[in-house]
Amino acid sequence: MMRATGWLLTAAILTTPISAQAQSRPDQKAFFGLYKELVETNTTLSAGSCTQAAAQIGARLKSAGYADADITYFSVPEHPKDGGLVAVLKGSDASVKPMLLLAHLDVVEAKREDWVRDPFKLIEEGGYYYARGTVDDKAQAAIWSDAMIRFKMSGYKPKRTIKLALTCGEETTFAWNGAQYLAKSKPDLIAAEFALNEGGGGRLDDSGKRQLLAIQVGEKAAQNYTFLATNPGGHSSQPTPANAIYELADAVKAVQGYEFPVKFTDTTRAFFAASAKAMPGEMGAAITKLLTNPEDKAADAIVSRDKAMHSTLRTTCVATLLNAGHAENALPQRATANINCRIFPGETVDGTLAKLKELAGAKVTVTANQPVRPTAIPPTLDPKIMGPITKVAAKHFPGLPILPLMSTGATDGIFFEAIGIPVYGAPGVFIDKDMGGIHGLNERIRVASLYDGRDYLFDLVKAFAG
């Protein structure tokens, strides 16, 4: 208790209002205002509004000089708070296909009682910005929106049309999804030669030193499964071995104890080959062995100490939600668990279902939850994409390796890839190797990383746009 109290006191002393932290350049100050407003706008599914966030950004675009015809707001009557926008900066050469900048406005739920700081108040502390969405995905949304504003205000005339799509529903599979809506109902509005999205970035070591720059080329498929155990129940004063909670617990523990086999795609093989060179010693040697023999359990154990690499090697499944029982003095009649899987390219929803049924055993029913999303289609390592990324990175991050990366998560890029738009996770924004608390407690981003990433991505978009 005393230790916890001491921590809270220290946090209170170190925490200073963001308004007191002036940025050195005028354009950084303007960006910070947009970023702060976006982060502090609650866009959770339970209590927030992406429609409000989109309207706020739309107002800033209008103030920068965009006409009404350049901005399209979208939503459906059944989901009035889940809206988004598409903004267009018209290019000078109609023969060059447009590019699309994609980001989502919604964020994962955050309970104030669980956080050290208010999750919907942007706080600067110890060289970090803290709040829900500081990284995922409001850093990207703010950077793209800010770039569109700066292009218009400076009078920049791109050769290639630049489109911006800000959507909602990415973080919750059962929510109304704005990217899916655009791909299905307004494909002409977002038609593009390629899209730049979240999923890439860069990795820092514990001291904040840049280790590598990554571009996402492909991703896993996200799929939820339900484990269900049932029992007639009865009075808790007379327990029996047949207990729905115990049966469910055994099934969940079986999932915890199972490792899906190591596999490689062209992208992940290139990533690990480069990583082996960049990480001398035990880790580099283990990666090299695993590339030679994916069944080398000893090498796998070493590489898998890094949770990001562990997930990049295989399908993963993990329990995320539990619900059981109906009364404190009754034997449980029903117990359920949600198992969230990230399925490796080439593997299927049905194949993973079969393995989960095997692990759960005969006493637990396993079903695949709806919706079953499209399987991600990995884009190619196109020189027309990698060329500008590498050239601009040499200016902003000289000497840093650029690696193709398969995202262990899942993004809304799958909906655009399904209609023929290759989607790449843009590099540039560096985060700590623990992912900066994304989807967890006290989400954060290093202040320097945010502004350095903003500068890189601004120049990158101009390089693509001509």
Specify the length of the chain in residues: 466
Tell me which DSSP letter residue 112 carries: G
3-state secondary structure of 97: coil
pLDDT at 39 over 80: yes
Q: How does strand 162-167 pair with strand 79-89? A: antiparallel
Q: How confident is the model at residue 373 (pLDDT cuts 50, 70, 90)?
A: confident
Structure tokens at 300: 């796998």
Q: How confident is the model at residue 132 (pLDDT cuts 50, 70, 90)?
A: very high
pLDDT at 397 over 50: yes
Q: Which of 284-293, 375-384, 410-419, 430-439 has the lowest mean pLDDT?
A: 375-384
The count of C-alpha atoms lying within 13 angstroms of the C-alpha of 365, restricted to the half-sphere facing its C-beta, is: 9
Strand partners, 235: 330
- Give the tens place of pLDDT for each residue, 92-120: 999 999 999 999 999 999 999 999 999 99
pLDDT at 78 over 50: yes
pLDDT score at 13 = 29
pLDDT at 7 over 70: no
The mean pLDDT value for 54-64 works out to 98
Structure tokens at 17: 């209002």
Q: What is the phi/psi pair of residue 108, to 5°? A: -70, 150
pLDDT score at 457 = 98
- Kindly provide the residue ranges of all beta strands, DSSP E only, lying in 47-116, ordered along the sequence: 71-76, 79-89, 99-104
pLDDT score at 174 = 85
pLDDT score at 20 = 36
Domain 15-219+376-465, what fold? Aminopeptidase (3.40.630)
Tell the burial category of 122 from Cβ atoms under 10 Å away from its Cβ (0-12, 13-18, 19+): buried
The mean pLDDT value for 244-259 works out to 98
* The overall pTM is greater than 0.75: yes
The mean pLDDT value for 161-184 works out to 96
Q: How confident is the model at residue 371 (pLDDT cuts 50, 70, 90)?
A: confident
CB 105 within 8 A of CB 84: yes
pLDDT at 376 over 80: no
pLDDT at 22 over 60: no
Q: For residues 321 and 435, which has the higher predicted lDDT (pLDDT)?
A: 321
pLDDT at 19 over 50: no
pLDDT at 230 over 80: yes
Separation between Cα atoms, residue 451 and residue 449, nearest integer Å? 6
The mean pLDDT value for 120-140 works out to 97
pLDDT score at 264 = 93
Query: How many C-beta neighbours within 10 Å does residue 46 have?
Result: 7
CB 410 within 8 A of CB 220: yes
The mean pLDDT value for 428-446 works out to 93
3-state secondary structure of 410: coil
Q: Which of 14-18, 210-214, 255-259, 394-398 has the lowest mean pLDDT?
A: 14-18
Cis preceding linkage at 294, omega within 30? no
Strand partners, 339: 225, 319
pLDDT score at 10 = 28
Percent of the chain scoring above 70 in pLDDT: 95
pLDDT score at 17 = 37
Tell me which DSSP letter residue 378 carries: P
Residue among 197, 221, 191, 209 at smallest CA distance from 340: 221
Separation between Cα atoms, residue 122 and residue 444, nearest integer Å? 10
Percent of the chain scoring above 90 in pLDDT: 82
Q: How confident is the model at residue 21 (pLDDT cuts 50, 70, 90)?
A: very low
> How high is the mean pLDDT of the chain?
92
3-state secondary structure of 217: strand
CB-based contacts of 226, cutoff 8 Å, min separation 6: 336, 337, 338, 339, 366, 367, 369
Q: How confident is the model at residue 128 (pLDDT cuts 50, 70, 90)?
A: very high
Chosen CATH of 221-260+315-373 out of 3.40.50.410, 3.30.70.360, 3.80.30.20, 2.40.50.100: 3.30.70.360
* Domain ranges for the chain: 15-219+376-465, 221-260+315-373, 264-314
Q: Please report, for residues 67, 96, 237, 323, the alpha-carbon distance to residue 234 in angstroms, rounded to integers and kept in the order given.
A: 67, 70, 9, 18
pLDDT at 327 over 50: yes
Q: What is the phi/psi pair of residue 261, to 5°? A: -65, 150
pLDDT score at 274 = 86
pLDDT at 11 over 60: no
The mean pLDDT value for 386-413 works out to 92
The mean pLDDT value for 70-82 works out to 98
pLDDT at 135 over 60: yes
pLDDT at 12 over 60: no
